[in-house]
Amino acid sequence: MAKSGPTAKAPGPIGVAEAERLLGATGKEAVELYARAGRVAKGHARRGVHLCGVVNAKSGRCPEDCAFCAQSARSKTDAPVYSLMSEDDLFRAGDRAEREGLNCFGIVLSGRGLRSRSEVDRLCRVYRRFERAGFRFRRGLSAGILRRGDLKRLRDAGGQSFHHNLETARSFYPSICTTRTYDDNVAAILLAREAGFEICSGALFGMGESDAQRVELAIHLGELAVVSIPLNFLSPIPGTPLERQNDLKPEKCLNIIAVYRLLLPEADLHVCGGRPRHLAKSSETIFSAGASGMMTGNYLTTPGFAPADDRRMIKRAGLAQRARPDR
Ligand code: SF4
C-alpha cells in the first residue's frame, strides 16, 4: 500500500513545497494561481461540467465516530434516522435523477458497511432496474466498507462507481475518526476497484488540518490513481464535535481547488458539500479555479442548489454540462 510523506513526489506540474505555499496565496499570486489552474483544466472544460447527485438511502445511527458527521451515533443532531429505503422509493429517486439529467447518481447509506444480505439484494435489484430503464447516469454507491463477495454481486448487478472518501490526510485522520483507520478506508477502495468499480474518493477540508496535510492527501489520491475526487468544505453541524470548527474562507476553498487541479491534472474534481456555505457568491469561479464538476441538489443532511439553478450557473460560466453517458 502506497504511503505518502514529506519525501513523496507530487504527481502534477508542481512540487510539494510550492503546492503548500500556493494554498496560502492571496492577491495577485492567487489570481495567477487560478489562471494557471484554469489552463490545466481546459481539457476538462472541453468535456463539459460533470453533475452528480445523491439520495440519502439509509440515514443515521452510524457506529463510526467521524467528527464532522450528523449521522454518527455519537453526534447529538436531529439528522433523520431511517433504515434502507424501499426498492420502489430508490427507483423513484433514480428516476428523478434521470429526469434532472445527472451524470452520476449515488445511493448513499450510513453505517460501517452492508451487513445484511437483504440490503445487498435490494440494492442489486435497484441497479438492475436502473439498467433496464435505460437511465444514462453512472450508477454510484457509497455504503462504507464492503465485503469482496457483496462488491462483486453489486458490480454484476450494474453498480459502476464506488464512492468512499479518504476525508483527510493519513497523518490527521485519527483526529477525525477513531473507530476505523485510514488504512481501512484505503483497503475498502482497493477491494472495490478489484471488484471492477470505478473509484470516487475525496476530501473534506476545514476540519483543522494543515495545508501540508491537504497536499499530503492530494498526493496519496494521485498515488492511488483516483480519477474522480469530491472536494467537500466543512459546514459545521450543531451537535457534532466539529460544530465550532470554522476556519475556511472562500479564497481558501478556491486555492484548494486550484492546487488540487495542479497536483492532479487528470482527475475530475467535483465541488460537493459546503458549496452553498463557502462558495455561493463565487459560484462560477470554481471552474476557472480548476473544478470540472459539482454535486447538485441536496446533500445528505443539508440543502443544496436545484439542478436547474446549477445549469444556469454553468451557462453563465460559458460552459456546458457533460454529455451522458459520460465515459
Ligand atoms: S461512516 Fe459515514 S455515516 Fe458513518 S459517521 Fe462516518 S461519515 Fe457519517
pLDDT in tens, 131-142: 999 999 999 999
Mean pLDDT of 64-70: 93
The finding on whether 201 has its CB within 6 A of some atom of ligand 1 is no
Please check whether residue 98 lies inside any domain of the structure. Answer: yes
What secondary structure, in 3-state letters, does the chain show? CCCCCCCCCCCCCCCHHHHHHHCCCCHHHHHHHHHHHHHHCHHHHHHCEEEEEEEEEEECCECCCCCCCCCECCCCCCCCCECCCCHHHHHHHHHHHHHCCCCEEEEEECCCCCCCHHHHHHHHHHHHHHHHHCCCCEEEEECCCCCHHHHHHHHHCCCCEEECCCECCCCCHHHCCCCCCHHHHHHHHHHHHHCCCEEECCEEECCCCCHHHHHHHHHHHHHCCCCEEEEEECCCCCCCCCCCCCCCCHHHHHHHHHHHHHHCCCCEEEECCCHHHHHCCCCCHHHHCCCCEEECECCCCCCCECHHHHHHHHHHCCCCECCCCCC
Q: Return the higher-pLDDT residue of 9 and 75.
A: 75
The finding on whether 69 has its CB within 6 A of some atom of ligand 1 is yes
Please check whether residue 5 lies inside any domain of the structure. Answer: no
Please check whether residue 1 lies inside any domain of the structure. Answer: no
The finding on whether 62 has its CB within 6 A of some atom of ligand 1 is yes
pTM above 0.85, yes or no: yes
Please check whether residue 74 lies inside any domain of the structure. Answer: yes
Please check whether residue 8 lies inside any domain of the structure. Answer: no
Cβ-count burial of 200 within 10 angstroms (0-12 exposed, 13-18 middle, 19+ buried)? Answer: buried
Determine the residue of 56, 69, 146 to mutate for testing ligand 1's pocket, defined as the one with the most ligand atoms within 8 A of the Cβ atom.
69
- C-alpha cell belonging to residue 112: 460501517
For atom 5 of ligand 1, the residue with the nearest CA is 72
**pLDDT tens string 177-190:** 999 999 999 999 99
Nearest to 57 by CA among 102, 97, 103, 5: 97
The finding on whether 4 has its CB within 6 A of some atom of ligand 1 is no
pLDDT (0 to 100) of residue 191: 97
How many C-beta atoms surround the C-beta of residue 35 within 10 A?
Answer: 12
Please check whether residue 119 lies inside any domain of the structure. Answer: yes
Residue with cell 481501512: 184
For atom 6 of ligand 1, the residue with the nearest CA is 66
The finding on whether 71 has its CB within 6 A of some atom of ligand 1 is yes
Specify whether the CB–CB gap between 163 and 106 falls below 8 A. yes
pLDDT (0 to 100) of residue 6: 38
- C-alpha cell belonging to residue 148: 469482496
**pLDDT tens string 289-320:** 999 999 998 787 778 888 888 999 999 989 99
CATH code of the domain in which 29 resides: 3.20.20.70
- Domain total for the chain? 1
Residue 65 Cα, ligand 1 centroid: separation in angstroms?
7
- pLDDT beyond 60 at 3: no
Please check whether residue 326 lies inside any domain of the structure. Answer: no
Cis check: omega of the bond before 325, within 30 degrees of 0:
yes
- Residue 85, domain extent: 16-316
Residue 207 Cα, ligand 1 centroid: separation in angstroms?
15
The finding on whether 142 has its CB within 6 A of some atom of ligand 1 is no
78: confidence class by pLDDT, cuts 50, 70, 90:
confident
pLDDT (0 to 100) of residue 142: 96
Whole-angstrom Cα distance, residue 72 to residue 320? 37
Nearest to 273 by CA among 85, 68, 119: 68
- pLDDT beyond 70 at 200: yes
Please check whether residue 321 lies inside any domain of the structure. Answer: no
Mean pLDDT of 20-36: 95
Q: Phi and psi of 110, rounded to 5°?
A: -75, 160
Strands 203-205 and 161-163: unpaired
pLDDT (0 to 100) of residue 5: 41
Whole-angstrom Cα distance, residue 43 to residue 108? 30
Nearest to 202 by CA among 156, 252, 257, 280: 257
2: confidence class by pLDDT, cuts 50, 70, 90:
very low
